[in-house]
Structure 1
Amino acid sequence: MQTKIGVVLLSGGLDSTVALWWAKKKGGYGEVHTLTFFYGSREERITRKVCEILAALSKVERQIFLELPWLGEFSIRSGATLVEGGDTPPKVSISMLEDKKIMKNASRSVWIPARNLCFVSIAASYAESIGGEAEIITGFNKEEAETFPDNSPIFIERMNALLEVSTIKAKVALRSPLIHLDKRGICALAKSLGVPVEYSNSCYDPAGITKNGEPIHCGLCESCARRKRAFLEAVGSDPTIYAHK
């Protein structure tokens, strides 16, 4: 009898890393595979190394990297600051995170055109090619859903409705175990699952990676600000290395 497969969309970020550990320890999957996409984002300087380390530590059964150059081209055309060739991502401090106007503008700046729609669709194609039953696992969460609609419960609900009528050779569903958690809750869950969070990368524009494989975060972008706040408030300390404190 074929076992259920968990297909984790692994960016190497905190959210997808915790989702990966959840899949391995709590998901009940016979196998866990990871998919990582490359489309020219600034963080790709270290993404492959980060994801290789995380996949090895979590002992996934299969790791796949996919190049999507066309998505990078679309992103540059749309003015996304998240990709190489675009403007620098806006600087955001912890104190700015509660300013809805600033956060709305910041999210629009880094927005990649229909990214999660593309990622889930490709993951569904991969899952269907395996056959049987599979769940696509993402790090979508409550906090990012406030500014990114493709991280929201309604996105998950509608994607699952779409998956029912877009796959016929396998039973494929989208699952987001962090959807009711903010970043603080995710950090707390990471601690309970024993996630080696020091190897995850949240930064939009990382400065590099240490010899030990720990990402060096810029410390200036929105994602770094959210990471700092979450660790300090949830567990009292932040294991992250920052180029700028």
Structure 2
Amino acid sequence: MTLSVSPTAEGRATVVIYSGGMDSFTVLHRALREGLKVYALSFDYGQRHARELEVAARVCRTLGVPHQVVDIRAIHGLIDASALTDASRELPEADYAAANLQDTVVPNRNMILLSLAIAKAVNIGTGRVDYGAHGGDHVLYPDCRPEFVERMNAVAGIANFEAVTIHAPYLRSTKAEILADGLAMGLDYADTWTCYRGEALACGRCGSCRERLAAFAANGARDPLAYATEVA
């Protein structure tokens, strides 16, 4: 169902944590459909798939959305126990499962990013931060679970003189449901990057690629991205 612009949103704004991936791409457009002034915020934390930042910058230029990339690579040594931030580690090439999940966990990532986004919101006088945690991630990553979002939301309400609300519109949705919403909005997912490898083409083998491809298959749609590995 296509989202309409809310007349009550006039003059309001939000900070969207925008990685350049499918979920945050959909969240960004959903906020725009609400009629909100959107400030996109991306983070360079030394991720191997930094290509997502290039995609995010391109989308924001096209949309005319203010976009800030925050360089937090100085904390890399604190969060490098992950295949996403340590190039010497082998990236898992299979569906997400207990055996390979731990290799893709970046310690405390969402708490760090949300804290900085909340600071940005307070600094520019907005009362909301949007991010793309979703139901499919609940069994995978602790910092995408409803309990985490609810408690971060409580902290965001008291951490500053101005309360900030954390808005996670897809918190109880699957990736396939997020994609369905975006397709209904007419979004072009060629303007996203999901692969954990920052190469010219998406690999089609890592857990992130496989989850993305499964979402397209569930919607009876073809992924517009080119893949190094032939996909059905």
Contact 2:189 2:223 in 1 (8 A): no
Provide Cα deviations, 1:195-243, integer angstroms capped at 9, x if missing partner: 22111001111322xxxxxxx2111100000001110111332222111
User: Which blocks of at least 5 consecutive residues in structure 2 are unaligned?
Assistant: 1-9
The Cα shift of 1:153 comes to 1.1
Distance in 1 (CA, whole Å) between partners of 2:194 and 2:104 is 13
Higher deviation after alignment, 235-244 or 170-179:
235-244
Which of 157, 166, 190 does residue 174 from structure 1 map onto?
A: 166
**Residue aligning to 1:91:** 93
**Residue aligning to 1:52:** 57
**Residue aligning to 1:223:** 208
- Residue 187 (1) aligns with residue 179 (2): yes
The Cα shift of 1:41 comes to 0.7
**Residue aligning to 2:75:** 71
Q: How does the TM-score come out when normalised to structure 2?
A: 0.90
SS of 1:82 mapped into structure 2 = coil
Number of residue pairs matched? 221
Identity %: 26
Distance in 2 (CA, whole Å) between partners of 1:52 and 1:236 is 26
Provide Cα deviations, 1:124-181, integer angstroms capped at 9, x if missing partner: 11111112x421111110001221111111111000111111011x331100111121
The structure that is helix-richer by fraction is 1
The structure that is strand-richer by fraction is 1
> How do residues 199-210 of structure 1 correspond to structure 2 at under 5 angstroms?
199-208=191-200
User: Which blocks of at least 5 consecutive residues in structure 1 are unaligned?
Assistant: 98-102, 209-215
Kindly tell me: are residues 235 and 21 of structure 1, through their superposed partners in 2, closer, same or farther at Cα, counting changes over 3 Å?
farther
The Cα shift of 1:85 comes to 3.2
Moved over 2 A (4+): 56-59, 104-107
> How do residues 95-134 of structure 1 correspond to structure 2 at under 5 angstroms?
96-97=95-96, 103-131=97-125, 133-134=126-127
- Residue 154 (1) aligns with residue 147 (2): yes
Higher deviation after alignment, 221-230 or 67-76:
67-76
Q: What one-letter code is carried by the residue in structure 2 that aligns with 1:184?
A: A
SS of 1:83 mapped into structure 2 = coil
Contact 1:7 1:137 in 2 (8 A): yes
Q: What one-letter code is carried by the residue in structure 2 that aligns with 1:36?
A: S
Contact 1:8 1:137 in 2 (8 A): yes
Contact 1:187 1:235 in 2 (8 A): no
**Residue aligning to 2:6:** none
Q: What one-letter code is carried by the residue in structure 1 that aligns with 2:105?
A: W
The Cα shift of 1:84 comes to 4.2
Kindly tell me: are residues 107 and 58 of structure 1, through their superposed partners in 2, closer, same or farther at Cα, counting changes over 3 Å?
farther
